[in-house]
Structure 1
Amino acid sequence: MKYLKWSLAVMMMVVVMTAVMPVRVEAKQNRPENVKAVLGDKTVKLTWKSSKGARYYRIYQYDPKKNNYRRVQKTTGTSYTFRKLKCGVSYRFKIKAYAIKKGKTISSSFSKVVTAVPKPVVKKPSGVRAKADQNSITLSWEKAAGATGYSVYQYSESRNKYVKIASTTKRSYQVKGLKAGAVCKFKVKTRRKADGKIYYSKYSSAVEAKVPKVKKKGKSTLKKFLKTAMEPAGKTMYVWGGGWNEADTGAGTDATTIGVSPEWERFFNKQDSSYDYNQTRFQIRNGLDCSGYVGWCIYNIMNTTSGKEGYVMKAEDMASNYASRGWGQYVSRFSVRNYMPGDIMSSSCSDCGHVWIVVGACQDGSVVLVHSSPQGVQINGTVDRYGNTSSEAVNLATYYMKNYFPKWYKKYPNCMRGESYLSHYAQMRWDVSGNAVMTDPDGYRNKTAAQILQDLF
């Protein structure tokens, strides 16, 4: 009995001592806190607060196929950037901290999960400008890095917001059909395609322009002028005195007649590649010389009936004479700096008299022109600014003469003109403001030679 009481007493003492003695708990590493995801251009940068005592960290990424997290990166820092990620895809990450204590590696629990959806950086367009013209406003802007296109928005008074009106891959857009006096506001966004999705930038700064009121309607347009100039092309021979009167003092019957003379094409069909204009001098009804041709073009855009006063004169006088009528600006031979559609170029010396019409300029400095020059009325191209004969203009002229005037091209395939065309001619540039006889509602002044030819044909 005494033994039993003693045993019970011992057991009670053990229980009491166990209850009051401290329990030894193995130390654990603190988990990373304040984990954040910073988005970049197809990148995700993870950052977190340093975990006290941590030697390194491991980043785990969720694998949707296996429905679990897999270890993807080890780092001693408190940030890491994942690159070349797919845009629009949701990525999930969590992190563990690791420490070495008493020679053993211990880890923390997982941090909170952070979710990130990468997007491409899409910069908004800069340098947006608006230029108003008759019935239109042309918008332009600087190229945005990585852009695959642009979207144009116009402010709608009725809806009190900007409404998308166009998408383009170019860095300009012309808004047509606007009423004179209208004040229009625009913004532009950059588009960028990435991983099969389209992303947009923020709006550019707003631009505003007012459509000018037309003070006076011109008689013709640059497009009509150039289209008229093409009518005799490829079927009219160069004839010395062609288009002049019998007295050789000015415009003859053909140069004051609306439309192309059927005799010109009949005469052309009788000729072969050996045609010599020196043998047909003053057969004035069979074709046109340079000034007779330009005079015919002018008459056909200024009049609707035949038989009125003509516009044929010496080639070297044409640019200055037309400018003196208030049609445009005269530029002397030595002051010519560039070429625009419809410019009339006439030589300033009597021993090399010639006149021609600019169709358009090319980026390499060459010019596409139309004129009557041996062997006849044709589209030609000049050399480029360095004198190269295989210029953009020559290639364009060759293409259009070969494809649209094959009978002519087969006989007379040369479509190149030399450097003198860019250095020996004065210029008359049409006033297209609407205050004179010419306008440009088709925007030819803003087009290249290639664009103009494509529109004409």
Structure 2
Amino acid sequence: MKNGMKKTAAVVMAAMLMGTGAVVPAAEDMWIFSQTAIIAEAASVGKVTGLKSKTLSNSEIQLKWSKVKGASGYTVYMRKNGKYNKLGDCKGTSYTVKKLPNATRENFKVRAYKTVKGKKVYGEYSANWNTATNPQACKGLKVSSVGTDSVKLSWTKIGCTNYRIYQNIKGEWKEIGKTTGTSYTVKKLAPATKYQFKIRACKQDDKKTSNNHYGKYSGIVTATTKKSDKITQADIDAMKKELQEYSNSKADFIRENYTEFDGYGTEYNTVDEFFERCVRNYTPDNSSYSSVYIIPTDETDIEEVKKQLKNKIDYGYRRNEDVNFVVYIDNCPNGLDIYNGSCWAVYLLY
């Protein structure tokens, strides 16, 4: 029936062409002639180029591409189970894919089409483009344990490639590590110090480059490291400052006669200037001292150490009231002749 209608149309066309002297194709060739025209139109549909994407959320991806001249529209495809399935058509050069699972990699293609005699005639597929949706926000972040120099964090597992850990450092959040697990231990922290942390999930797409897709940040957790059971360098520095202030307060003769002790021809406005010069210039190589006091690095009681050294300072001023003692402390990791082990050496210089 259909072939009969096609042939009837061909006869009518032939009758119209006879009067013009044109070569009239046979009726059975008219359908082939029509199909050839459609194929020619198809050949003129350009290939989509410039396909890119922007991940909008954990469930939406926006695709964009370059305009194809003369195209009536575009069809978007997404791969599933090894096959590219049609998602939809659009007239413009962007298309938003919605209702996708979070933290999933997806692969897309697009091709342009022209509408010829009521039918879509397609050009070539674009190159495929892979990307991913964002993970969901991390939940359940908590401080699992605290040490003197470390904090262990843990959280609830979600779909992602890895988790990124951030620390608030001087008011700025900085990434300090990443892990594929659901816990992370932050190390090399100072004792008895407060810290803040947060995390977020990351999903990498198939390109394995810098195309990372992040979920929202978790809530912030705060942890305070434990006080160290050993004396640290920070303890030593604080002790040195305290002992020097104590020594200056005991140097009554110096505070009353400090201008007479100026051996460099310098005039001082205050006794504090004189003390500062002494602290800055005195070393064991250019000063006198009676003894060296040792603090082993495995010592634990800093208060007891300070108490003993203050007694030494008091005794020194009783024996030599017309001097000022400068507290000089040197770290000796390999020990000294008088002590075979890692320690701090304390000198009371004058």
Q: TM-score range by the shorter chain?
A: 0.3 to 0.5
TM norm structure 2: 0.33
TM norm structure 1: 0.26
